[in-house]
Amino acid sequence: MRLHEHFKCFPVLHHTNSEDCDMSYLISGLHCCGDLSEAILRLFITDPSAQMLVLVGCCYHKMSLRRFPWSHVVQRMFIQSTGRAEFNTEATFRLACQWSPTSWLQWTAHDSNVHRIRFLYRTMFTCVVSLTAPPTWDSCPRHHYRFDPTKDTELSSLLTSTDSVSFDLVYPFLVDHLRRNLNLPSIPEEFSALSNSLERLWTLTPGILALQQIIQPLLEMFILADRLWYIRQSVPLRFSGFIRLFRSDISPRCMALVASK
């Protein structure tokens, strides 16, 4: 309904025969991954027949980051600062397409503990792989990185029985899973020396998550604003802006860039 209301001003094309047929068309894209969003925007700008646009992007971290930003507005901002190299990283754009704060606010203590354990495991996994010989990494299927330790029977029972899950309870389970998943006879000594740092990370994880909730929507709107400014500078428009199409707790990428020439 929201989209229909905003498009009331758009021309309605009536065709009587093939000769009178207006070849104008609307480009729509739902959760267009990475560079596909840029390709759609360029098509909308360059093709005179492309008269309307409805675009919901996704997977910002899969964009060609060396080409960001597209708009003159953001380009001038970056020229005036020294932060472009620090901003244009996969980590920044990956954070922009995380779950929205609306989703995080619905988490229970159990959900928070599950996230905490998964985050710790991925960190431990990355540390162990970086300390082992390259053949170990080459022979390690990617699904080991995505392994969910909270599905472990004992760990799952622990999560179900209490909300007070401590580092000391979780850490031995995760070390054992790492050793088995990577087919290691033992964990490298260098990794064992990181246990204190990993415990501090465990303590800081709720704060890191809170920081993510603050930064994520700001980063996403910055990326989307760059796209809007880009089409506004490139082609005359009758209408352009954003419309929220979905509930953000169900579909985090819910903002549609809409425009009409």
DSSP symbols for 21-52:
----EEEEEEEEETHHHHHHHHHHHH-TTEEE
The yes-or-no verdict on residue 156 having pLDDT over 60 is yes
Question: Which residue pairs from 65-71 have beta carbons closer than 8 angstroms and sit at least 24 positions apart in sequence?
Answer: 65/89, 65/90, 65/93, 67/38, 68/223, 68/226, 69/226, 69/230, 70/38, 70/41, 70/226, 70/227, 70/230, 71/225, 71/226, 71/227, 71/228, 71/229, 71/230, 71/233
Mean pLDDT of 87-102: 91
Spell out the domain ranges in the chain: 25-99+222-260, 107-132+142-214
Q: List 53's β-bridge partners, or say none.
A: 27, 259
Cβ–Cβ contacts within 10 Å for residue 15, how many?
9
Mean pLDDT of 130-153: 67
Give residue 81's pLDDT band: very low, low, confident or very high (50, 70, 90). Answer: confident
Mean pLDDT of 30-51: 95
- Please give the Cα distance from 35 to 4 (Å, whole number): 27
pLDDT for 83 equals 77
Residues 6+ apart with CB under 8 A from 55: 27, 28, 29, 32, 37, 40, 41, 227, 256, 257, 258
Token pair, residue 168, equals 């000391």
Note the pLDDT tens digit of each residue in 9-34.
555 444 445 555 568 999 999 999 99
pLDDT for 15 equals 47
Mean pLDDT of 147-176: 88
CA nearest 136: which of 148, 147, 146, 127? Answer: 127
pLDDT for 6 equals 52
Note the pLDDT tens digit of each residue in 51-76.
999 999 999 999 999 999 999 999 99
- Please give the Cα distance from 59 to 83 (Å, whole number): 22
Q: Say whether pTM exceeds 0.75.
A: yes
pLDDT for 82 equals 79
pLDDT for 153 equals 85
pLDDT for 35 equals 95
Note the pLDDT tens digit of each residue in 214-227.
999 999 999 999 99
- Please give the Cα distance from 62 to 40 (Å, whole number): 15
- Please give the Cα distance from 28 to 157 (Å, whole number): 46
Under 8 Å between Cβ of 97 and 61: yes
Q: List 244's β-bridge partners, or say none.
A: 255
Summary mean pLDDT of the chain? 86
Give residue 102's pLDDT band: very low, low, confident or very high (50, 70, 90). Answer: confident
Note the pLDDT tens digit of each residue in 221-253.
999 999 999 999 999 999 999 999 988 888 889
